[in-house]
Amino acid sequence: MREILPKEIAGAKIIFINMPLRESAQPTTTPEGPLLMATNLIQNYGIDASIIDLNAYRLNGRYLSHDKVFQFLKDHISHGEPDVVAFSGIITTLRWQETVAKMIRKIIPDVFLVSGNGLATELKLGLFNYIPELDAVAHSEGDDVILKIIYDAKLIKERGMKSSVLSGKLAPYYLGEINDRHRFMYAGDRPKDLDRLPFADLELIKTDVYGNQILQRYLDTPVWGTSANNSSATSFTMNRSTTFVSSRGCPYACAFCYRGAQGERHYGMRSAENLAAEFKLHIEKYGVDFIGMPDDNFAVNYQRIVDLVPLLKPLKIRWGTHARLDESDRFKLMA
């Protein structure tokens, strides 16, 4: 795939929709993937990108009703129809994606509709059988391929599908017509240097279209611990907390684990210096007393832990992450 230049897609509009996960707990983890992509698109490509975080409305053990979601989508889209709507969600969000896809087609029938993240990565072409409203599926990591998705959608909107296909510019991801709809299968790849990506701008989910304080809900909900009602225990409490991912993928092949939502078995990591800079930003901007890194496996690289410890000590911040028990030689240093 050739490089997409900012001038080729500047001015396009995209809406990322993050799907609900589970009803048994409050939402604790901000939507890292959509936030990273939206931030990069806004800062470096002149794209009008916004995020609808349906996962943020898991209040008192319930989701928004379908009727409320439909109205919410209409009201958000009323501020400007997008060129692309992109779904984000793991395998358990299939039913929600099926439902929201139908809603999107009712509101904006001709929008370029794509699904990515864990569900898309696991099912790939099979996802079209479940969600026939989709134009495209994007598997693996989306940082780079989202540019091509926007380019293709913009081209189709300007020239029409037939002319766009004949131009050859939809290659290499255009599949042809499948079940009476033109389909695309995008293959994402890892950015060469994760440190070069801008930090996810949490302000993109500060409020929703109705003025609800979405980001504040995340900040006030403990990432882990008893009150978070998840599997990550802590011996302490936290008042304000945030999350971000420090690495992608995991080199191991545990039978119980599917790594498709965070880079598959292609392991890559951000540097200790880059992590410390984002720690500092979150502490200064949001006054957090805990930061969680929900990586598939944080502790793969011992030297990064060695480098990170002296950088975090002056910040006086509690932090947590996930690791394997056979890497326990690193735990004392991390603590």
pLDDT at 78 over 70: yes
Structural domain boundaries of the chain?
6-187, 222-334
Q: What is the mean pLDDT of residues 279-302?
A: 95
Q: What is the mean pLDDT of residues 213-224?
A: 94
263 conformational bin, left if phi > 0, alpha if psi -120 to 50, beta if neither:
left
According to the model, what pLDDT value does residue 259 have?
57
According to the model, what pLDDT value does residue 263 have?
57
CATH superfamily of 6-187: Response regulator (3.40.50.2300)
Q: Which amino acid is at 212?
A: N
pTM attached to this predicted model: 0.95
Cis peptide before 172 (omega within 30 of 0): yes
Please compute Rg for the chain using Cα positions.
20
Q: Do domains 6-187 and 222-334 have the same CATH topology?
A: no
According to the model, what pLDDT value does residue 264 have?
62
CATH class for the region spanning 222-334: alpha beta
Q: Return the percentage of the chain with pLDDT > 90, whole number.
A: 80
Tokens of 66: 């379908």
Other C-beta atoms closer than 10 Å to the C-beta of 134 total 23
Could you report the per-residue pLDDT of 118-154, keeping only the tens digit for each?
Answer: 999 999 999 999 999 999 999 999 999 999 999 999 9
